[in-house]
Structure 1
């Protein structure tokens, strides 16, 4: 990789990364000097239609380079053109995607019930109020000891029962009490169901990714996916006989050719934009997820390939390089360099779709209930003020009428 301040640096000091450290260790062991440069076309190396090679393999064949460092997987086709050292690492292929963000709402407490259920509940509330009022009026027509409750009292009694509240008025007829008992049972089941779902919605955050495994890509078309053209990954997908991988290759290369990218950097940019999955080497994908917690890696890993340093065919120093790599591996130096560049990821683990992450409630989750409380306080205050003003006006009018009548009862 280029260092963040590479413009003020020169030569090999412009670059950093695992392979930069690796070649530095090998150079110290074998006592040689080297210069790093980037291949002009940005390719790893694939055979063109005319039989020539592009990318880093082409640079080796043409004699411009004596070593090629990169994600060069050791394949049979490349072995025909150049030589490789012993593998310094085994790489796999995984999928890189953007983490699906969970949305929050101020009125998230309404989510436990479907909007249609809320509509039916309001309808049931109004229906029971009307029926209870009618039953009480009919049942108490000829009774003076139990006067029927008013429509307003019916409303507050039914509404209060739904919220486990209480009122002074209550049904006095047998039919009204039977209706009330059925309404209480309805309210009990509804409140228990709502409470159970509300706990799940507000207290438990479930990581729900649209793609849980690599094979899920083949069975959907909403999320686009692709890889780098003329790369080892594209070669595997193109030549494999595994059904779902072959289906994915047909989707990428024929149905959605725009999903294929020229360089890995373009692929990572498309992932950041969203609705795109990038099929690439797990060594890079894992590093990207460490750098950015908005990205996640999806497995299981497939197509294991050895990564080696590529050299021109017949190079006399191939065996020396291989022995140096084996010694670095035996002494644990390669493992140390891996830990340096692939540190522990301090992000939520989105790779396990069955894991629930419990989190504390934030204000954006429950702000709606505060809005309702403030709204109730405001409405109550306005009604109270209006009632006070109305009573003051009515009292003032009555007082004026009293002063306007003489003690003898004659108008003044």
Structure 2
């Protein structure tokens, strides 16, 4: 940007508006007054902003001059209330150079005040001023120390032997990272580039942005009786206090104004939510359930994760089913009952056929019809008696008839052994199935959601969950995103609380996709009518965010690692999730198969 500082400010404001102030962009301000302008808007975006500074305010001579300048009355000397700009410094040095030159001419007794031979400015060809050569020679002889450093000229009138500071914009303001001169050329101090300490933070109140989201940050019931940080409670409130204690700084909690986590507008490229407050310098650190993602990492820095989680499915807990008339069939599967029926019919038919062919099942009966006596061969195992015998054996009851042939007894023995196993298994499971009320969930996994349209499903309108589905290349998740994007009415919600209420009021016709930790927490809260189904769809973590290049980043990261090693992070989760639960040990009766369970 090769223009004056006033124009630079307008250009940088426009850069912020169109979202070109993030990581990946580098702006070089080509004038000599890097610190003269207001760079606060672009300071936290992540873009590299560098430039040059010719006035060194650390120089004792400049500091003395600046002190005298600021002591002047602003009414008489406009601008005396601020640091001198580089253009004013150059003007001051120019006057000083002219003064030195004229003093040199005076010592040489050269009279340059005579009006003779003044020359005609409009003459063609031009007629030089007679004293001009003397003044030029005097200017080249000047060697003074000015506000802009050493002032000296070569034989061509070019300034030589001066130094220019190389500046870079950091999260804490402009920082000198090196210098340039004719002898050494560009010299960069790497320690200034990569410095990351928290020196001086003890005297500064750090602004901590967060979001009202139970159980992370909640307003106390009697919040009016407290002030500042004491008005809030929750997991992140306790975590912020521990981080501040380990890093040694004072802090003030600030609830994000728009109630959003942080996403970049696709058209304007402007960040909203907590990420936006960090990017645009409205906060120093974000302690909240903020998911670590690639697009956020490009503009802000994250600590190591303080909590691991994944996207999960929340549905309304289905009504528990009471035992019905045919509940006695539940201990065995439908397929088993069908096999038993076919086995029953098959054994009866085999027994009937065996009895037909075996002579041992036949016997002679005498009949008297008047005076006539007849003998007739009969067989007791007709088809109906065979069915009756098999049914009696299955029901563990006796029967008036029994097979007498070896083959018939083998068939009967096999059937008795079969019924012994079946009845024993049935009896063992019957009591449990009749006494335990069971829930039938219409959705068991993301696949179940994707292949149906009766139950709508959606996410938070601005957050990492929505971004996950939007960017996913997996066919299942891409199909779900296509549905969510085109669904009418909209399936997206502005807050998690709105999403939970929509699940509760939808009568089972809406599923909400959210982080597993929040899902587990809501399961433990009254009226205990939601439940988590299936496993996590992905794996990610919550991190503490700081502006790009912030001096707090390294200290916060070390504090998180230390708290994790001490087990304090687990204690905080147990405190706010389970110790304060309202639904008992059963919770929300989450339906997650052992193979689908994911850590965090």
Into which bin does the TM-score normalised by the smaller protein fall? 0.5 to 0.7
Q: Deviations over 1:7-36 (max 9, x none)?
A: 434321222221111111111112222111
The answer on whether the counterparts of 1:226 and 1:278 sit within 8 Å (CA) in structure 2 is yes
Q: Deviations over 1:35-62 (max 9, x none)?
A: 1121111110000120111111111122
Runs of 4+ in 1 over 4 A off after TM superposition: 110-113, 180-189, 195-201
Q: Deviations over 1:162-186 (max 9, x none)?
A: xxxxxxxxxxxxxxxx9x9899899
Q: Deviations over 1:109-158 (max 9, x none)?
A: 37779xxxxxxxxxxxxxxxxxxxxxxxxxxxxxxxxxxxxxxxxxxxxx
The correspondence for 1:88, drawn from 288, 303, 306, is 306
Secondary structure of 1:83's match? Answer: strand
Q: Distance in 1 between matches of 2:242 and 2:543?
A: 15
Mapping of 1:4-403 within 5 angstroms? 4-10=220-226, 11-48=228-265, 49-104=267-322, 108-109=324-325, 202-256=434-488, 258-273=490-505, 274-275=507-508, 276-292=510-526, 293-343=528-578, 346-347=585-586, 349-352=589-592
Secondary structure of 2:524's match? Answer: helix
Q: Distance in 2 between matches of 1:335 and 1:198?
A: 41
The answer on whether the counterparts of 1:282 and 1:301 sit within 8 Å (CA) in structure 2 is yes
List alignment gaps of at least 5 residues for structure 2.
1-216, 330-381, 397-425, 595-600
The Cα shift of 1:86 comes to 2.0
Q: Deviations over 1:278-314 (max 9, x none)?
A: 1001111111112243221123112212211111112
Secondary structure of 2:532's match? Answer: strand
The answer on whether the counterparts of 2:321 and 2:438 sit within 8 Å (CA) in structure 1 is no
Q: Distance in 1 between matches of 2:488 and 2:481?
A: 10
Q: Distance in 1 between matches of 2:573 and 2:433?
A: 40
The Cα shift of 1:94 comes to 0.6
Count of aligned positions:
298
The answer on whether the counterparts of 2:220 and 2:233 sit within 8 Å (CA) in structure 1 is no
The answer on whether the counterparts of 1:227 and 1:279 sit within 8 Å (CA) in structure 2 is yes
Q: Distance in 2 between matches of 1:214 and 1:324?
A: 37
- In structure 2, the CA distance between the partners of 1:6 and 1:251, relative to structure 1 (3 Å rule), is farther
Q: Distance in 2 between matches of 1:318 and 1:4?
A: 30
The answer on whether the counterparts of 2:279 and 2:547 sit within 8 Å (CA) in structure 1 is yes
Q: Distance in 2 between matches of 1:255 and 1:221?
A: 10
List alignment gaps of at least 5 residues for structure 1.
114-177, 355-412
Secondary structure of 1:259's match? Answer: coil
- In structure 2, the CA distance between the partners of 1:353 and 1:305, relative to structure 1 (3 Å rule), is closer
Which has the larger share of helix?
Answer: 1
Larger mean Cα displacement after TM superposition, 258-267 or 338-347:
338-347
The answer on whether the counterparts of 1:90 and 1:305 sit within 8 Å (CA) in structure 2 is yes
Q: Distance in 2 between matches of 1:303 and 1:352?
A: 15
* TM-score under structure 2 length normalisation: 0.44
Q: Distance in 2 between matches of 1:207 and 1:257?
A: 29
* TM-score under structure 1 length normalisation: 0.62
The Cα shift of 1:207 comes to 2.8
Larger mean Cα displacement after TM superposition, 253-262 or 53-62:
253-262
The answer on whether the counterparts of 1:99 and 1:295 sit within 8 Å (CA) in structure 2 is yes
The Cα shift of 1:103 comes to 4.2
- In structure 2, the CA distance between the partners of 1:27 and 1:352, relative to structure 1 (3 Å rule), is closer
- In structure 2, the CA distance between the partners of 1:213 and 1:32, relative to structure 1 (3 Å rule), is same
The Cα shift of 1:90 comes to 1.8
- In structure 2, the CA distance between the partners of 1:7 and 1:244, relative to structure 1 (3 Å rule), is same
The Cα shift of 1:205 comes to 3.1
Q: Distance in 2 between matches of 1:319 and 1:269?
A: 40
Q: Distance in 1 between matches of 2:432 and 2:586?
A: 23
RMSD of aligned alpha carbons:
3.7
Secondary structure of 1:34's match? Answer: strand
Q: Distance in 2 between matches of 1:23 and 1:39?
A: 15
Secondary structure of 2:292's match? Answer: coil
Which has the larger share of strand?
Answer: 2
